[in-house]
Structure 1
């Protein structure tokens, strides 16, 4: 089956883009992986490099599309290090806040609520980093709903 794939990548602006198109053949059961190089110079407004890929329909296969954005930071560290630093900072703040709450003379029940909401937030961050977006979204919605219910019913 002959397929066509088109990639549109920013090239320093959202107006000026680079478009690459490839035609390829696939046999039944075969899959193919494509990659396009991006750099900090491709970032629109110097902040985010964006890509959109469209796979054209070829009967009986359907069309498909995907998009991605890569945030460019003005530091010379790999993305894994930046993520690790933010996770450590967030975890430290959660632990510090929970500890301060417990030492503040509040009831044990209030402390458990804070720890549960902090754990739910940590689960959401972990799920998001793993690419489990349904779980991340569900934990966010549940956390917001729980915080609203707790806030309204607080005495």
Structure 2
């Protein structure tokens, strides 16, 4: 392999690694936010998870956001429900609590929303929230929670920054892999094996991001640990080869 080819292959591998690191950092921050929110105002036993509850993944320092919920009466009778929303108010120990009493006709859905802003974040990092719904319609009691990441940036919105971050990670991974694959002059079998491993690792990181975005931190957390261990193992193997080559 010529010096230029090795140089291009090295640059490609570096770009791929940067994309992987960006993806893992994204997953870490989103999982961390949900992990912190897991125990926030927990304790009441409920039957199910509240369906239709959603929060923004992140907001910026000059941005306000909305947490929303759709509460439905799927029974054939009139019903009533009490909805309690709690979220941090600048500290994990200071809680803003809003309670609403709703009445439903059969099949009716109430759409609710609660505003949040950067000053609500605990430790200037996360806004933690939990919703409880207790009603006369089945299921009788539900709950859910979310963690919202605060990004200390006066520009753009949290969603725009997250989308840009994911797009950047994808570009680095794809361009880096392609540059490495074209410039790498290993034997065909070895190159194909390495390429498949790179694609598989990128797919695991993508799955990690997907799970974290969908607030499945109980699945995303262990997978994140696996991905970090794999990254360390690959780096150690690479350094070992460089040392003894």
TM-score range, shorter chain: 0.7 to 0.9
Q: What residue number does 2:161 align with? A: 82
Structure 2 distance, partners of 1:27, 1:66, is: 24
Instruction: Give the CA deviation at 1:60.
Output: 4.7
Whether 2:209 is the aligned partner of 1:125: answer: yes
Q: What residue number does 1:69 align with? A: 147
Q: TM-score, normalised by structure 1?
A: 0.74
Runs (4 or more) in structure 1 with deviation over 4 Å come to 126-129
Which shifted more, 19-28 or 89-98?
89-98
Q: What's the RMSD between the two structures over aligned residues?
A: 3.2
Q: What residue number does 2:76 align with? A: none
Q: What residue number does 1:105 align with? A: 185
8 Å contact kept, 2:134–2:140: yes
Whether 2:96 is the aligned partner of 1:18: answer: yes
Task: Give the secondary structure class of the aligned counterpart of 2:122.
Answer: coil
Query: Which residues of 2 match residues 21-32 of structure 1 at below 5 A?
Result: 21-32=99-110
Structure 2 distance, partners of 1:125, 1:36, is: 26
Q: What residue number does 2:129 align with? A: 51
Structure 1 distance, partners of 2:136, 2:115, is: 26
8 Å contact kept, 2:146–2:215: no
Q: TM-score, normalised by structure 2?
A: 0.50
- Equivalent pairs counted in the alignment come to 144
Residues 59 and 109 of structure 1: CA distance in aligned 2, closer, same or farther (over 3 Å):
closer
Give unmatched runs, 5+ long, in structure 2: 1-78, 235-245
Structure with more relative contact order (C-alpha pairs < 8 Å, separation 6 or more): 2
8 Å contact kept, 2:80–2:103: yes
Structure 2 distance, partners of 1:61, 1:109, is: 51
Instruction: Give the CA deviation at 1:113.
Output: 2.8
Structure 2 distance, partners of 1:12, 1:117, is: 38
Give unmatched runs, 5+ long, in structure 1: none
8 Å contact kept, 2:80–2:137: no
Structure 1 distance, partners of 2:129, 2:166, is: 26
Higher-strand-fraction structure: 2
